Amino acid sequence: MQAWNIEFRHLSVGYGRHEILHDINAVIPSGAITVILGGSGCGKSTLLRHIIGLSRPLGGQILLGDRDIFSLPSKDFRQVRRHMGVLFQDGALLGALTLVQNVVLPLSEHLRLPNALLREAGLRVLRMVGLENFADYYPNQLSGGMRKRVGLARAIVAEPRILLCDEPTSGLDPVTAARMDALLLSMRQRYTDMTIVVVSHDLASLHAIAEHVLVLGEGRALFAGSPQALESSQNPYLRQFLQRQAGFGEASLETPANPEITSALKRWLDS
């Protein structure tokens, strides 16, 4: 399998004229797990949408394996897109299809293969995520963690060079989240050249799986490097994020309540 780095060059992304991320310059290396870390709303999913070509950047470039994806003819882009597997935030499974039908979608949409072969391919990846015995269940019969594992199975069924996971542990309890991390590490072992990108705000997950980290915040890339270098960074925003200090800027508990409201409330509570 050919390895593909992902490179951002002076990349700016946003919606309409509203810029969300400005002048991102970073390389996401192949053959490693990179965690893109940042608080809610900082633009992580937006960045992912651009990597898979769902949105066009406001400026700059994204290179996948040395090719600028937004200057490719659409036919060549579709060719590149085939090598990307995506685990969406909620798993994005189709409710009317069984798990095995869901996981083989990337194959059944494009390849003419006999059903028995498709099923075999589906069972194989369901086995990799520990859900082979649930192959004929429907998504609504599963827990959130199981649905995410099915989403992961579908993301890898076409053996992608780039695997993108949007918040694979969000909404999961700590034990289930740790299992998801273990599963991502096993994918890393199984597919040694794969470029694995995990978007997350989960610090436990960061410590468990990251070999490389890109931190987004304040509309920029604040850090790119190893988890060890991140730990020793003195950047105040990063320190605050890593130590989970609350910091809502303008938020204040100090504004006194209007005494009229306080006394009306007291009368009602005491009545």
Ligand X SMILES: Nc1ncnc2c1ncn2[C@@H]1O[C@H](COP(=O)(O)OP(=O)(O)O)[C@@H](O)[C@H]1O
Cα 46 to the chain's mean position, in Å? 10
**Options 16-24, 43-51, 69-77, 245-253: segment touching Mg ion (CB under 5 A):** 43-51
The answer to the question of residue 130 lying near ligand X (CB under 6 A) is no
The answer to the question of residue 22 lying near ligand X (CB under 6 A) is no
41 contact choice in ligand X, Mg ion, none (CB below 5 to 8 Å, kind-dependent)? ligand X
Strand, helix or coil at 75? helix
Query: Considering only residues 4, 43, 87, 241, which one is a binding residue for ligand X as defined by CB under 6 A?
Result: 43
The answer to the question of residue 36 lying near ligand X (CB under 6 A) is no
In 3D, which of 66, 58, 52 has the Cα closest to residue 17? 58
**Options 41-49, 117-125, 224-232, 263-271: segment touching Mg ion (CB under 5 A):** 41-49
Instruction: Please give the radius of gyration of the chain, using alpha carbons only, rounded to the nearest integer.
Output: 22
The answer to the question of residue 45 lying near Mg ion (CB under 5 A) is yes
Query: Considering only residues 2, 17, 40, 271, which one is a binding residue for ligand X as defined by CB under 6 A?
Result: 40
**Measured from the CB atom, is 45 or 235 closer to Mg ion?**
45
Sheet holding 6-15, edge to edge: 18-28, 6-15, 59-64, 67-68
The answer to the question of residue 20 lying near ligand X (CB under 6 A) is yes
Query: Considering only residues 38, 57, 85, 160, which one is a binding residue for ligand X as defined by CB under 6 A?
Result: 38
Exposure class string for 108-146: b at 16+ Cβ within 10 A, else e: beeeeeeeeebbebbbebbebbebbebbeebbeebeebb
Residue 246 main-chain phi, psi, to 5 deg: -70, 135
The tokens describing 165, both together, are 């996971």
The answer to the question of residue 55 lying near Mg ion (CB under 5 A) is no
The residue with tokens 């289930």 is 176
The answer to the question of residue 247 lying near ligand X (CB under 6 A) is no
**Measured from the CB atom, is 44 or 149 closer to ligand X?**
44
How many Cβ atoms are within 10 Å of 78's Cβ, its own excluded? 11
One-character DSSP codes across 183-197: HHHHHHHHSTT-EEE
- Tell me how far, at minimum, the Cβ of 152 lies from ligand X, in Å: 18
Site string for Mg ion, 232-271 (x = CB under 5 A): ----------------------------------------
- Tell me how far, at minimum, the Cβ of 247 lies from ligand X, in Å: 17
Q: Which residues pair with 28 in a beta bridge?
A: 6
CA distance 200 to 215: 10
The residue with tokens 């003195």 is 234
The answer to the question of residue 6 lying near ligand X (CB under 6 A) is no
Strand, helix or coil at 232? coil
**Options 40-48, 68-76, 109-117, 151-159: segment touching ligand X (CB under 6 A):** 40-48
**Measured from the CB atom, is 45 or 98 closer to Mg ion?**
45
Contact 52, 161 (CB under 8 A): no
Query: Considering only residues 5, 46, 176, 235, which one is a binding residue for ligand X as defined by CB under 6 A?
Result: 46
> Which residues bind to ligand X, rule: CB under 6 A?
15, 20, 38, 40-46
> Which residues bind to Mg ion, rule: CB under 5 A?
45
